[in-house]
Homo-oligomer: A and B are copies of this chain.
Amino acid sequence: MGNATRTSGLALAAILLAAVAGADPLPSWNDGPARDRIFSFVAAVTDPYGKGYVAPAERIAVFDNDGTLWAEKPFYFQAAFIVDRIRAMAGDHPEWKEKAPFRAVLSDDPKALGGLDLHGLLELAMASHTGMSDAEFERTADAWLTSARHPTTGRPYTEMVYQPMLELLEFLRANGFQTWICSGGGIDLIRRFSEDVYGIPPEQVIGTGVAKELRKEDGALLRLPELLQPINDGPGKPVWIGRHIGRRPILAFGNSDGDFEMLADATSGPGERLALILHHDDAEREWAYDADSPVGRLVRGLKEAPARGWQVVSIKRDFARVYPRPRSR
């Protein structure tokens, strides 16, 4: 990985030129090793005369979503979607009031919610995500994305994205990269905002999905209460990257140990490779968590990053700005 850390003359020239022209492509990144590393990597793989050159077709970058492109505190945003949907659907299901795990959601008792086990959460996820057509699901997802607000900032969830990451996605695309999402979250929810918010079209979103079948009468895709295997997390990520993309990414960006295998896979091929880990260490502007958080737990990645040549990105140190300015509405 030695070459990846060296800023080539060409890279330096490109950065200086951009600076002189006033067109810094990463204005929300502070000067420092992370920003340097990104610039030198992109310079190396795009320099047609350099030995690190990578053809545009092979410039594949994969990004985790929860905690990497948008926040994941105080809970995964998809969990908020599930809870809101269960409450909205409760009128049609009077039996839920007395039935676990629905009772925990409808009781408005935060303790009951926190006490849900994986089996209970899965049942809630299936009840809110399946048993309808894709078109119906998309309508409820769109309505929720428009109306729901983050519990502590009051902003739409789609504004709880990281401005420096938006700039990085755009910078990579401007340099011939394909930018993909590879998330443990539900693929169909992410696809409803990824193009508008991240500039990532639905065909470049990989996530956890449910089984579907074609309804004979009208050709609608019906959503079935069964998760596709493997879940797109941990060792499942390289499996789904293989299914969707069919070639190994050269850049991967994650934030938790659920991204470890994705980062290891991206950096296991020949030539220039870059893996980055976003470290949530800014309790003032965002949240500070790693080893002890049930959401976004990060231990192994931090420990092995130096030896593996993976770049740790600190929100506190490397992000000049965290969230984008609110969209005018």
Contact = CB atoms under 8 A, between A and B. Distances in A.
For the complex formed by this chain, how many copies does it contain in all? Answer: 2
Interface stretch (A123-131, A145-153, A239-247): A239-247
B265 A212 contact: no
A272 to B, nearest CB: 18
Contacts of A98: none
A236 B213 CA distance: 8
A214 B238 CA distance: 7
Interface stretch (A3-11, A75-83, A200-208): A200-208
Nearest to A202: B246
Interface residues of A, number: 35
A122 interface: no
Contacts of A230: 213
Interface string A145-179: 00000000000000000000000000000000010
A242 B211 CA distance: 11
A280 interface: no
Nearest to A247: B202
A219 B245 CA distance: 17
Nearest to A213: B239
A191 B244 CA distance: 11
B247 A57 contact: no
B57 A243 contact: no
B264 A219 contact: yes
Contact of A203 (B134, B191, B245): B245
A219 B57 contact: no
A304 interface: no
A225 interface: no
Interface in A170-198: 178, 187-188, 191, 195
Interface of A: 57, 134, 178, 187-188, 191, 195, 201-203, 205, 209, 211-214, 216, 219, 221, 229-230, 235-236, 238-239, 242-247, 261, 264-265, 268
